[in-house]
Chains A and B, each alone.
Chain A
Amino acid sequence: MELIVASTVGVLTAAGVYLMLRLRTFAVILGLAMLSYAVNVFLFASGRLAIDQSPILSRYGDATYTDPLPQALVLTAIVISFGMTAVLVMIGLGAYLEAGSDRIDIDPASEDADAKDARS
């Protein structure tokens, strides 16, 4: 199980970073979503992986429980990343409608090329 979780985090992070480097709004948003999934799984695993155990101490000193704190952290992180993605989509849309291009970088040369693409 550790192997599956670890490689999931790795693959998601790699995909996220790759997509973020695409410098197009849509790919970057997907990439950031991937990264936030990766970090959520990672945070969840930071309290150790445990199966079939409640996050509540049944008796004091009894060690068979799963750590509840990372679950609370993940919940917070999910809410925040969800809100941030929504804001990013809105700003990305605004930028696309204003500039007529969905590139993230501000490079005059490539902007001209984009404008040419749009015209042709």
Chain B
Amino acid sequence: MMHWIILPVVLPALLAPIIGFVMRHDIVLARVASVAGAVLLLGVALGLTVLAADGTTHVYRLGNWPAPFGIVLVLDRLSALMVLLTAVLALIVLIHAIATGWDARGRHFHALYHFQLMGICGAFLTGDIFNLFVFFEVLLIASYGLMIHAGGKERIRAGLQYVVMNLAGSTLFLFALGTLYASVGTLNIADMAAKIPEIPVEDAGLVRVAAILLMIVFAVKAALFPVQFWLPATYANAPAPVAALFAIMTKVGAYAIIRVHTIVFGPGVASTEDLAGTWLFPAAIVTIAIGAIGVLGARRLMPLIAFSVLGSMGTLLVAVSAFSATGISAGLYYLVHSTFAAACLFLVADLVVTRRSADSLEPAPATGQNGLFAALFFAAAIAMAGMPPLSGFLGKLLVLDAMRAPGTIGWTWTAILAGSLVTILGFARAGSTLFWKSTAFPVPEPGSPAPRPASAAELAPSMSAIAMLALLAAFAGPVSAYMQDTTDQLFERDGYIFAVIGPDERVEDALEAAKEIVEEEEG
């Protein structure tokens, strides 16, 4: 059995308490340990991606208990992709947080950061749905701390809303799990996938209820209409590096929908296959609309970016809602793209906003490196809005191409194309107000305190996020081929089930031994 699979969970889980307890008074030591941890995590994630690339599904049995009795971690291409995405994003954001000094504005940033990474990686790797709940809670409780990092009235009030919203979501998650356990008798994803098709359609009422409840829970995480309202306030008020890290949090919800609603309730399961797509599609279309309108209406830079994240989640879930191989592989490409685009926008916005007097989209005197910030913002904005040459254009093109089925084409193409246009308008207006109108102001007198120019270390994370987008566009062919393989593996339900609960000789032995004992006692 490969022990590497559990490392993305164990590494941050060990590092975070050490940083929290031992290095809490020494920010330099904590920074070094934190970056070292993030680099190690990236190394492990790369290793796991190579391991999973050949298409085998690796299973890690915790405590060596055979599934479905014990908890399993499952590594396939999809999990490996998500863990790798998390690790790359985490390193970029962490360097930004350190370079800009955000991590020193409150306590325990690095410890919470690694707990957050532990929860996210665990959620991507687990093969047990109750364990998914536990990892959701781990990542949420760390995110509560990160969300209110550095304090402030607005931030703590937005944080309170975020916590309440997610606690309600967690309760709903438990109700869904209880319903599911009562009707299926197992919480192992592979075991459920094997058992649910055996339930006759007319008896599957409770399973259908559980499927929809789970969908609502994941939709809360993915910020899907009508449970999207927490996202703009949260992202706009969180510290900018935290908001950039949260770009992966909405993807956890999207990942859970992709995983659970294809393998467990997905195509080929007569009783539940029509549920997810039917509800996901209209909700995602409305989410795109809300995101676009919000971008146009936002009066501050951070809410503007938050609404554009909302719109990108809508686009992603439209592609997922088809539950077809082309749809999900387009969705996965767009998922990777939108994570980096959102993170990049938040990081650039942080550089700009901290050098201006206010976050509002009103003309103000130009900051020191106006041209550089404008170029960065421009690059990130065209990626997010979906204009060439960066990966947003290709991502949206793939999504549009995947959604050509009659019945969905009209809504999808209208929503995505109109949404993109409105988003471009919103970003163009924001950019021209921030960067062009500001040049009309007189240059401040030499004596007045000028904002500190951004150092190379502060600019490097945003630039590397843009570089990731450019790489994603340059290597779109190989990447989308990999996404295609990932999706093929995802749709091979039997392969997944066999890998997790395939004939285990130890179970057979145990059953034999138990039978012998019974016979002896009776005989």
Contacts and interface: CB of A to CB of B under 8 A. Distances in A.
B464 interface: no
A55 interface: no
Contacts, number: 103
Nearest to B159: A91
Question: Secondary structure at chain A's binding surface: helix, strand, loop or mixed?
Answer: helix
B372 interface: no
Nearest to B161: A104
A4 interface: no
A83 B141 contact: yes
A15 to B, nearest CB: 13
Given A60-B514, A80-B134, A28 B178 contact: no
A35 B170 CA distance: 10
Categorize the interface residue count of chain A: 35 or more
Nearest to A103: B157
Contacts of B159: 91, 95
Contact of B156 (A59, A60, A81, A95): A95
A104 B164 contact: yes
A20 B164 contact: yes
A62 B351 CA distance: 67
A80 B136 CA distance: 11
B167 A84 contact: yes
Interface in A79-96: 80-81, 83-84, 87-88, 91-92, 94-95
Given A73-B130, A98-B156, A99-B153, A32 B181 contact: no
Contacts of A39: 171, 174-175, 178
Contacts of B170: 80-81, 84
Contacts of A69: 181, 187
A88 B167 contact: yes
Interface string B143-160: 010001001111011111
A21 to B, nearest CB: 11
Contacts of A20: 164, 168
A117 interface: no
Contacts of B167: 32, 81, 84, 88
A25 B177 CA distance: 28
Interface stretch (B84-92, B384-392, B515-523): B515-523
Given A32-B168, A84-B141, A94-B148, A25 B175 contact: no
Contact of B161 (A46, A47, A99, A106): A106
The interface centre, meaning the residue of A25, A83, A106 with most chain B CB atoms within 10 A of its CB, is A106
- Is chain B's interface secondary structure helix, strand, loop, or mixed overall? helix
A80 B159 CA distance: 19
Nearest to A28: B164
Interface in B174-202: 174-175, 177-179, 181-182, 187
A88 B163 contact: yes
Nearest to A57: B514
Contact of B168 (A35, A42, A83): A35
A104 B137 CA distance: 21
A28 B166 CA distance: 13
Contact of B144 (A48, A76, A91): A91
B144 to A, nearest CB: 6
B59 interface: no
A91 B140 CA distance: 14
B517 A99 contact: no
Nearest to B176: A39
Interface string B213-237: 0000000000000000000010000
A77 interface: yes
B158 A73 contact: no
Contact of A42 (B134, B153, B178): B178
A68 to B, nearest CB: 11
A46 B178 contact: yes
B164 A73 contact: no
A39 B391 CA distance: 44
B174 A77 contact: yes
Given A39-B174, A47-B181, A60 B164 contact: no
Interface of B: 130, 134, 137, 141, 144, 148, 151-154, 156-161, 163-164, 167-168, 170-171, 174-175, 177-179, 181-182, 187, 233, 514-515, 517-518, 521
For the complex of A and B, 3 pairs with smallest distance between CB atoms: A60-B514, A46-B182, A46-B178
14 contacts: A16-B171, A28-B164, A32-B167, A42-B178, A45-B182, A59-B517, A59-B518, A70-B181, A76-B134, A80-B134, A84-B137, A95-B156, A98-B157, A105-B161
Given A80-B137, A84-B137, 12 more contacts: A35-B168, A36-B171, A39-B178, A42-B175, A46-B179, A69-B181, A80-B170, A84-B163, A98-B152, A98-B157, A106-B154, A106-B233
